[in-house]
Structure 1
Amino acid sequence: MSSSGHVLQIGWHGHALMALQAQGREVTCVLRPRDLATAAKHGNPERHVVVPDTNNFEDVLSGVRRRGLDLGDFELVTSANEYCLVTASVLARLAGCLGMPVTAAVALRDKYVQKDLVRRAGLPVADCWTVDRLADVGLASSDRPLVVKPPAGAATRNTYLVRTKQDLVDLLDAEPLAFGGPWLVEEFVEGRELHIDGAVQDGRLALLAVSRYMRNVIAIQSGTFLASVVLRPAEHPGLYGRARELTAGVLAALGHHDGVFHLEAFLQEDGGLVFGECAGRVGGGMTRDAVAWSTGVDLLDAWAHTSLRIPFAPEPRLSAGTSGWLHVPAPAGTVLAVPTSDEAREQPGCTLAAIEVQPGSEMPDTRIGSDVRAGRVVIVGDDETHVEERIRGFVNWFGARVRTTAGPSGDE
């Protein structure tokens, strides 16, 4: 294994690149042509390997070779990108260097594989199976709701809640689906949805933060906004204990011993937790920023340390209040008027804001996926209730000022 201090990063992620550089590493980044303009802002274009598809092993291997490099030159092959985890892990295995184990990468990407491993470990998880075509789903009865989705999807795209046989008929009769199959079919789990974020090193949980979605993620399909609030350990000691126990068991079952994780679970009425799914990356939205505000620990710094096997033992500095994040909603259509990021930061509790649309740009339908938004903000407050109130207030403030060809935005 090389100790050269050179890292091969698959897929563009500017903040991840900087986290690796902060550890004194030289980073060669494999990226797509469309990422070049953004990557150029970070300098070092000689360290960029441009390929048609960062998930294609042939493209990546050929691109590295064209640059006169060899996989054996690298200490670590890694990715902070959801869709590149398996590619990076296979290349690390070929290089004989540090990287995520291939079996762990597959388990962290394929939801059927991970749920099967979690079930075999004796942990609570919904029953699930796969079908080759959506028409093969079937429903045992009208009162058995199911969720169907791609086995290795993300951001709730191409994910459907099927409560009745008629729901399935309507789905099959709709416009041609963007995803053709095979499909993962799982029993719908009731309960409040949580996300558990942190880092693991050498099989030991080094950091764990529990957050609660204001509405379960699948509710975006009915038009609600996506937001979550970080829960303070002192106010939820029992929940944190159960979350730690579930997370440790899941990561062990998946073989994910070094890296970061974004795990989702459902809180039951009796206080128990049912596993939802787990990714081997930093959570989406502004999870990183909200966790950093509440704990003082940067998840990407944790990712760099644990990926490089540098000892990581942070001492979280819990804030006086707590924080949350919001994917700012707006009606679909051409944007006619929208508040600026500076105006957003003037709203109560808003510490970070990135309004990503501007007049003339197209706003997609937020029901498409959990990553569709007009912008992202971090909101802080005295406690969870205060943060939730401020998030709702922000949604109403923004909605009264944004205009698209579809009309004004509403609240939740």
Structure 2
Amino acid sequence: MRTPAVKSVLFVGGKRTEALEAARNAGLQVIYAGPTSDMSRQHHELVDAAFLFPEFSPELAFRVAVGLREHLPFDLAYTAGDAYLQTAAQINDELGLKSNPLRAVSAVNDKALMREVLREMPVGQVASAEIRNRSDLERFATSNGFPLILKPSRGSASKDIHIISGPAELREIAAGLETAGDDAPKDTAPWVVEEFLTGREFSVETHSAAGVHQILAVTEKFTNEHRVEIGHVVPARITAAEHTQLTDETTSVLTALGVAEGPAHTELILTARGPRLVETHTRPGGDAIVELIKIATGYDIHEMTFSWLSGKPPVVAHDPQAGGAAIWFLTAERGRVTAAGGEAEARASEGVRFASLSAAAGDVVAEVRSSDDRHGEALAVGDDADSALRNAREAIGRLVVEVEPLGHD
């Protein structure tokens, strides 16, 4: 049981309402603060009070929350999205509200700091360095060789990730980097460089209560050449030994970082040396992974979270709805869209729970270098992981996006 139990929660931002609904169902008072544009009819139906702003920055969110508690007390600030994870942790720390320690959340949200914290810990080590300037990058390449991977320290959605295969590519990328300069403070390093990890990719979905990490599922992940995720399936198609390796490493990482409660989404690559951490998050997985887990395992991560916060046992399970669940994303060719369609056909495919297409005639399709560059999705179920994955991919195959090269008359 959680002590003290939460009776009122402040949600900081967020367009989705599943967590709001779970908090409401757990009997909690629900307060919402966020941008006006994110407030939907569902939000209005679920919240007891809402504070909306035309523009809502993390800095404003912090000031609003601290001032609000004097007039409308709440027991916890919570968010399920990347944009305000650090802010919610800072609010809880400033107000003395029990949650994950600010240091733990800061390490999770800053990839350079995460590697520093884990460097002396009993977890699989990954060669890495903070990058403030071109010299830092060249020094790491000299010591560790190629290929290597460069990413923003505080990036998300797979944006601005660079896989550097040799010296010429390093010079080209380094010339365009926005760096902090040689005299910048230590905490301003904008980039982190890491050894390139080779192997299959997975994420481990967990819920923690008083420092005890419960494994909910292992998700098998699929990425393109830029490490952008293009598909997921639950359960992962792995051996019992591989499952143990991945889950043991996850619990070790979460413990080492100081994560004590709530959902976590931990991404790993299973290398020849064993599992190695890519990154972790103190939130549920995105890309409908929450729904995949619910279908294939019966665990509802939002229900578990707010059951725990309200002082009830966090172990909440339901019967699985299917043997496997998968989501696949449409990655169209580069160019200008001349025709798009096929949603009805995709939705009618075997096992499909939902399918959508975001591309339309006239749109310009860019190279898929972040999650924002995907143009459709299909979630499907099956008797097992293989059939669920096949159903999802077949549904995506029914979506039509025709493009012509840019500049075509």
Interval of TM-score (by shorter of Structure 1 and Structure 2)? 0.7 to 0.9
Name 2:32's counterpart in structure 1: 29
User: Deviation at 1:391?
Assistant: 3.6
Deviations 1:263-283 (A, max 9, x none): 11111246x212221111111
What is the rounded CA distance, in whole Å, between the counterparts of 2:225 and 2:44 in structure 1? 34
Go from structure 1 to structure 2 and tell me whether the alpha carbon gap of 1:165 and 1:49 turns closer, same or farther (over 3 Å shift).
same
Residues 1:324 and 2:323 aligned together: no
What is the SS of the residue equivalent to 1:80?
A: coil
Go from structure 1 to structure 2 and tell me whether the alpha carbon gap of 1:318 and 1:3 turns closer, same or farther (over 3 Å shift).
closer
What is the rounded CA distance, in whole Å, between the counterparts of 1:266 and 1:336 in structure 2? 38
What is the rounded CA distance, in whole Å, between the counterparts of 1:107 and 1:46 in structure 2? 32
Name 2:104's counterpart in structure 1: 104
Residues 1:52 and 2:60 aligned together: no
Name 1:226's counterpart in structure 2: 230
Map 1:343-382 onto structure 2 (within 5 A). 343-359=345-361, 362=363, 364-365=365-366, 367-382=368-383
Structure 2: stretches of 5+ with no match in the other structure: 181-188
What is the rounded CA distance, in whole Å, between the counterparts of 1:331 and 1:41 in structure 2? 40
Map 1:1-400 onto structure 2 (within 5 A). 5-12=7-14, 13-36=16-39, 42=45, 44=47, 46-50=49-53, 52-56=55-59, 59-64=60-65, 69-70=69-70, 73-134=73-134, 136-138=136-138, 139-140=141-142, 143-172=145-174, 182-215=190-223, 218-220=226-228, 226-231=230-235, 236-269=239-272, 272-308=274-310, 310-315=312-317, 317-318=319-320, 321-332=323-334, 335-339=337-341, 341-359=343-361, 362=363, 364-365=365-366, 367-398=368-399
Q: Percent identity over the alignment?
A: 23
Native 8 Å contact 1:285 1:327 kept in 2: no
What is the rounded CA distance, in whole Å, between the counterparts of 1:143 and 1:354 in structure 2? 42
User: Deviation at 1:63?
Assistant: 3.3
User: Deviation at 1:143?
Assistant: 4.9
Which region of structure 1 is more displaced relative to structure 2, 107-116 or 71-80?
A: 71-80
What is the SS of the residue equivalent to 1:73?
A: coil
Name 1:403's counterpart in structure 2: 402
Go from structure 1 to structure 2 and tell me whether the alpha carbon gap of 1:42 and 1:229 turns closer, same or farther (over 3 Å shift).
same
What is the rounded CA distance, in whole Å, between the counterparts of 1:290 and 1:309 in structure 2? 26
Matched AA of 1:195: S
Go from structure 1 to structure 2 and tell me whether the alpha carbon gap of 1:62 and 1:170 turns closer, same or farther (over 3 Å shift).
closer
Name 2:184's counterpart in structure 1: none
Native 8 Å contact 2:153 2:191 kept in 1: yes
Matched AA of 1:346: A
TM-score by length of 1: 0.84
What is the rounded CA distance, in whole Å, between the counterparts of 1:375 and 1:350 in structure 2? 14
Matched AA of 2:105: A
Which region of structure 1 is more displaced relative to structure 2, 73-82 or 13-22?
A: 13-22
Native 8 Å contact 1:336 1:359 kept in 2: yes
Native 8 Å contact 1:199 1:306 kept in 2: no
Native 8 Å contact 2:201 2:221 kept in 1: yes
Which region of structure 1 is more displaced relative to structure 2, 30-39 or 4-13?
A: 30-39
Native 8 Å contact 1:217 1:370 kept in 2: no
Go from structure 1 to structure 2 and tell me whether the alpha carbon gap of 1:363 and 1:281 turns closer, same or farther (over 3 Å shift).
farther
Native 8 Å contact 1:141 1:164 kept in 2: no
Native 8 Å contact 2:326 2:388 kept in 1: yes
Tell me how many residue pairs correspond in the alignment: 393
Native 8 Å contact 1:77 1:98 kept in 2: no
User: Deviation at 1:245?
Assistant: 1.0
Matched AA of 1:118: L
Native 8 Å contact 1:3 1:74 kept in 2: no
User: Deviation at 1:217?
Assistant: 7.2
User: Deviation at 1:340?
Assistant: 5.8
User: Deviation at 1:404?
Assistant: 4.4
Could you say what the CA RMSD is over the residues aligned between the two structures, in angstroms? 3.1
What is the SS of the residue equivalent to 2:216?
A: strand
What is the rounded CA distance, in whole Å, between the counterparts of 1:22 and 1:177 in structure 2? 47
User: Deviation at 1:359?
Assistant: 4.9
TM-score by length of 2: 0.84
Name 1:410's counterpart in structure 2: none
Structure 1: stretches of 5+ with no match in the other structure: 408-412
User: Deviation at 1:121?
Assistant: 1.5
User: Deviation at 1:150?
Assistant: 0.8
What is the rounded CA distance, in whole Å, between the counterparts of 2:211 and 2:4 in structure 1? 23
User: Deviation at 1:259?
Assistant: 0.8
What is the rounded CA distance, in whole Å, between the counterparts of 1:292 and 1:25 in structure 2? 22
Deviations 1:277-306 (A, max 9, x none): 111111111111111110111222233334
